[in-house]
Amino acid sequence: MRVLLTGGAGFIGSHIALLLLERGFDVIILDSFVNSSSIVINRIKTFLQNKDLKSKFEYIKGDIRDKNILDNIFIKSIKECKPIDTVIHLAGLKSVSDSLTNPLHYWDVNVRGTLNLLLSMKEYECYSLVFSSSATIYGLSDSVPMSEDHKILPINPYGQTKVAIENMFYDLFNSNIKLWKICSLRYFNPVGAHSSGLIGEDPVGIPNNLFPFLTQVAIGRQKILKVFGDDWDTKDGSGVRDYIHIIDLADGHLASIDYLNSNDSCLEFINLGSGHGYSVFQIIRQFELTTGRKIPFSIQGRRDGDVAKCYADISKAKKLLGWTPKRSLEQICLDGWNWQIKNPNGYC
Ligand code: NAD
Ligand code: UD1
């Protein structure tokens, strides 16, 4: 089976790529490298050399807003008699704060880019899609755990673009072409790294998210972790989130492909999280315990747009996909730290 993986050089995509290749899929990565490094591709190739899988992998530098590039990928694969069976679509922009500054850019890349992709898929009769949506579409509510029928209430342009894309899926699914098979996966907080330490999360600039900030404090790239509020209505006053090991998350994509292959026309919105909520203080404590590193922190005011608690009800993913996350918070800390010490300055 051949998979087109857009955004495959990014944090989540690179981990999905390794899993797909390990399980025998042919993989084409399409990425513009706007938020990733081409070194990722070399790391994937290193991994493949070790496993003798090189011929199954190719990558193309390009933008999903360029329809010619997309069309050419589909045409070439048809000519090679190895048409693309499924697209895993991750390419897009993901910073909440950037989206507030540059909303049109987010609509252009995320929504127009996805529209382009869907047009090419339709044209070349590839109807099977796994998409990266986000728990951010559930907005400010902190009634937990959140199931898929939780109210959709995005509070920033980034979230709005994910909702707009999900709405496109509704329209496609309800059209008279009963061929589309789509899993829209709503991720909670993917963290950690591949256990090899070859690939991991390497945000550009100062990390916005807790986990990469924490590992950068541990390695000395950041001085001190700011804890955004200790007065939330949670067990210890700090914010509670659903941290899922990146490999468990990647596994959810393979389970989704299996699901799409064994079903006719379908559209499913599915939460991918660990199903557990951990507070910021719990994360700090577990990281210190696992790695033996002390994390200096200071308590700050609450961050705009934060909620007290957000974690997933994952019963749908378990039932529909037969998927269940297997890796503990300790494993997350071990693998995340292994990546950070092997790559103290990220990909460079
Ligand atoms: P990432 O930025 O590491 O990866 C996205 C990749 O897409 C990057 O390699 C980037 O270069 C590429 N890209 C961006 N715009 C492109 C374009 N126009 N054409 C081609 N490639 C382009 O982010 P990630 O964390 O791996 O996230 C992947 C997807 O998952 C995103 O769509 C994101 O919105 C979604 N998501 C991420 C999280 C998270 O916490 N990381 C949570 C929920 C949803
Ligand atoms: C954030 C985004 C969300 C996005 C998600 C994944 C905001 C308001 N929300 O979610 O839309 O889908 O990232 O990219 O930006 N924290 C600290 N100190 C830090 C960083 C975070 O205390 O330096 C706390 C936060 O207040 C929160 C928890 O750690 O309680 C997790 O934060 P983060 O990793 O940014 O994830 P989300 O808040 O879930």
The answer to whether residue 169 sits within a structural domain is yes
Closest CA to 328 of 147, 192, 235, 199: 192
Helix (H, G, I), strand (E, B) or coil at 175: coil
pLDDT digits (tens, 9 = 90+) for 9-23: 999 999 999 999 999
Q: What is the model's pLDDT at position 48?
A: 85
DSSP string, 117-156: HHHHHHHTT--EEEEEEEGGGGTT---SSB-TTSPP---S
Check residue 64 and report its DSSP letter. T
The answer to whether residue 126 sits within a structural domain is yes
The answer to whether residue 40 sits within a structural domain is yes
The answer to whether residue 88 sits within a structural domain is yes
pLDDT at 50 over 70: no
**In this structure, which residue's CA is closest to atom 22 in ligand 2?**
227
Q: Ligand 1 centroid to 313 CA: how many Å?
A: 24
Number of domains in the chain: 1
Burial state string for 244-274 with b = 16 or more CB within 10 A and e = fewer than 16: bbbbbbbbbbbbbbebbeeeeeebbbbbbbb
pTM: 0.97
The answer to whether residue 249 sits within a structural domain is yes
**Banded pLDDT at 25 (limits 50, 70, 90):** very high
**What count of other Cβ atoms lies within 10 Å of the Cβ of residue 155?**
17
The answer to whether residue 94 sits within a structural domain is yes
The answer to whether residue 188 sits within a structural domain is yes
Q: What is the model's pLDDT at position 142?
A: 72
- Confirm or reject: Cβ of 132 under 6 Å from ligand 1: yes
Range of the domain at 27: 2-199+243-273+313-326
For residue 258, the domain's CATH number is 3.40.50.720
Bridge-based pairing of strands 297-300 and 2-6 is unpaired
Instruction: Tell me how far apart the alpha carbons of residues 152 and 163 are, in angstroms, rounded to a whole number.
Output: 8
pLDDT at 256 over 80: yes
The more confident residue out of 281 and 52 is 281
Give the number of the atom of ligand 2 that is nearest the alpha carbon of residue 159.
11
The answer to whether residue 34 sits within a structural domain is yes
pLDDT digits (tens, 9 = 90+) for 103-150: 999 999 999 999 999 999 999 999 999 999 999 999 887 789 999 999
Q: Ligand 1 centroid to 94 CA: how many Å?
A: 6
Instruction: Tell me how far apart the alpha carbons of residues 30 and 69 are, in angstroms, rounded to a whole number.
Output: 9
Residue 59 among the catalytic residues: no
**In this structure, which residue's CA is closest to atom 11 in ligand 2?**
136
- Taking the CA of 155 as reference, the closest ligand is 2
> What is the CA 339 to chain-centroid distance, rounded?
18
Report how far apart, in Å, the C-alpha atoms of 317 and of each of 13, 89, 139, 325 are: 20, 19, 21, 10
pLDDT digits (tens, 9 = 90+) for 35-44: 999 999 999 9
- Average the pLDDT over 258-275 and give the result: 97
As a whole-number percent, the residues of the chain with pLDDT over 90 amount to: 93
